[in-house]
Amino acid sequence: MVKWDEEWEASMPARARHTRRVGVGMIFLVVLLLVALMVVATRWRLWLPPGPSGAITEADLKPSSRDKEQGPFAICHGAVRVSCVVDGDTIWFKGDKIRIADINAPEISHPQCDSEEVLGDKARDRLVALLNAGPFSLDKTESRDVDKYGRKLRAITRGGRSLGAVMVGEGLAETWTGRRRDWCH
């Protein structure tokens, strides 16, 4: 005895059977494409090369006459901190703790995974190099002067351009949106 589906399909003209198989294949292909797009949408930052086009580079950071602040900076160690870098978005400068207001960098002190800590170390080291590369300005933000931890909120600029934007362009930080990113995905 032949199953009903087989009888029904056998009674269809050959062209209709082919169209039915193509339709099922097309649905599978569309679903597969949607899954691939969802993966790309959530993981695209991991595949970008450093320095996407249009990003501010260190070469764009020419000092201006308003850039009066200067280092030297090193990585912070110990309890006494005068001018040093804590991580990719926090520094001490002339005894004041400053949170770079326009970026968020991976955590070093409490990373959620090993890759966050490694990227956080790279961001910290890059910030040391950027700060030591020449004079800069500390610009107040429009929103608040101090964050909830008592750190001064400042954008660090050279020639009117953000040092944080260089780090964002290099994949070492993200533009601050009001909440922290999960660096471990």
pLDDT of residue 18: 57
Calculate mean pLDDT across residues 25-46.
Answer: 70
CA distance 49 to 108: 23
pLDDT of residue 48: 43
Considering only residues 56 and 129, tell me which one the structure prediction assigns the higher pLDDT: 129
Residues 90 and 168 in one domain: yes
- The predicted-structure confidence for 61-71, as pLDDT tens digits, reads as follows 888 899 999 98
Percent of the chain with pLDDT over 90: 48
Residue 180 in any domain: the answer is no
Considering only residues 21 and 66, tell me which one the structure prediction assigns the higher pLDDT: 66
Which own/partner contact pairs does 44-49 have at CB distance under 8 Å and 24+ positions apart? 45/171, 48/171
Q: Are the beta carbons of 126 and 88 closer than 8 angstroms?
A: yes
Residue 166 in any domain: the answer is yes
The C-alpha angle 179, 182, 185, rounded to 5 degrees, equals 155
CA distance 81 to 94: 9
Percent of the chain with pLDDT over 70: 79
pLDDT of residue 62: 87
Residue 132 in any domain: the answer is yes
- The predicted-structure confidence for 68-95, as pLDDT tens digits, reads as follows 999 899 999 988 899 999 999 999 999 9
pLDDT of residue 1: 54
CA distance 141 to 91: 16
Q: What is the mean pLDDT of the chain?
A: 83
Is the pLDDT at 54 greater than 70? The verdict is no
Number of domains in the chain: 2
The domain in which residue 36 lies consists of 4-47
The C-alpha angle 6, 10, 14, rounded to 5 degrees, equals 135
Residue 183 in any domain: the answer is no
- The predicted-structure confidence for 111-166, as pLDDT tens digits, reads as follows 889 999 999 999 999 999 999 999 999 999 877 899 888 999 999 999 999 999 99
Residues 105 and 165 in one domain: yes
Residues 149 and 123 in one domain: yes
**Torsion angle, alpha carbons of 9, 13, 14, 16, to 10:** -80
CA distance 48 to 34: 21
Residue 13 in any domain: the answer is yes
